[in-house]
Amino acid sequence: MLILFIAQSVRVEIDEDKGRVEITFPEVKESYDEVQETESYVIYRTKTGETRFVVPYPDGAFIGIYAEDGNRLIYSGKVPVMRRIKAGVYLVSMSYEGYAWSDKVEVKGGMSNVLYVKYLSKEEEKVEEKEETEDYVIIRRPHKHTYLKIKEPTGCKVTIKTERGKTVHKATLPTGIHLKPGFYTVEVRCGKRTKTVKVEVKENMENILAIKMGKEPRKEPMSPRAFSALLRMLEEASFSDEKYSIVREAASKNYFTSQQVLQILKKFDFEDDRLKVAKLLYPRVVDPENFFIVYDAFTFSSSKRELRKWVEKYDREHGR
């Protein structure tokens, strides 16, 4: 079956019968000083005075950049990538929708090195062993290196330590790293929830780990009756400081829906006060996916931008 994705002038063809993804990228119209092409990738190089490594496509693919021997992780993250990096030869790996690519790539000094991967092949599905506990699932399959990949829970923070407590890797999931065989402590943090497990990384295996965080306890918003009482108190309060104290006290012991937050903000007359209250209440919202309705409480676009940046920063820091 052939599925087409067209985005930003890039065509990604997933051919399940052939077991590969083919990427057709736009013609590079900008001037460049050098081009290197292999069977699986093309690199365009331009003299810029800085050494940069750029991978623009496919958007959302997971990428790992390693030392040439593959034993030391330099960088891991998601495409697109644009990084300052030392000149040299690197082992670059990429995974996308169950397909993978890896090859050695030369990054030349004083140049912008833009890498376009032509295709990815279906990842090996053979599973040699599986281990499952209450806290995690790990599957292992043959690999040319000893490799640990942590796939879930996506978006959470992870720290990997040796048995002696030395930190060898920190990242946002999903991530992967080449390691020596042995036991490692993996600590995952999702917001205020953390879980620490001890896992064995086996030699010449791809060890694929998924941590079971469990469901976050359900948070019930303030009842309609109690919320009505809160609104009456805000209407009776004469000053902004008094209103803010009432909301702060309520927020210390209750949760709210985005709609309730919007109604609370309308009880404040000034834009700055509304912004302050919105930041106070956002961590107590049970439906952050609906928080966009709160922006209707603001008149000025500058206030909306400030709140949006604050919310994005909060989400990143708390894994929301």
Give pTM, 2 decimals: 0.45
pLDDT tens sequence across 237-259: 989 999 999 999 999 989 999 99
DSSP string, 297-317: G-S-HHHHHHHHHHHHHHHHH
Position 183 scores a pLDDT of 96
Q: Which residue has the higher pLDDT, 27 or 137?
A: 137
Position 125 scores a pLDDT of 52
pLDDT tens sequence across 281-310: 999 998 888 999 999 999 999 999 999 999
pLDDT tens sequence across 256-283: 999 999 999 999 999 999 999 999 999 9
Q: Which of 19-33, 59-73, 172-186, 250-264 has the lowest mean pLDDT?
A: 19-33
Position 2 scores a pLDDT of 34
Contact 203/195 with Cβ under 8 angstroms? no
CA distance 265 to 263: 6
* Residue 215 reports pLDDT greater than 80: no
Q: Which of 37-41, 93-97, 164-168 has the lowest mean pLDDT?
A: 93-97
Please, which residues have CB within 8 angstroms of residue 87's CB and are 6 or more apart in sequence? 51, 107, 108, 109, 110
Contact 203/146 with Cβ under 8 angstroms? yes
Give the pLDDT band (50/70/90) at residue 167. very high
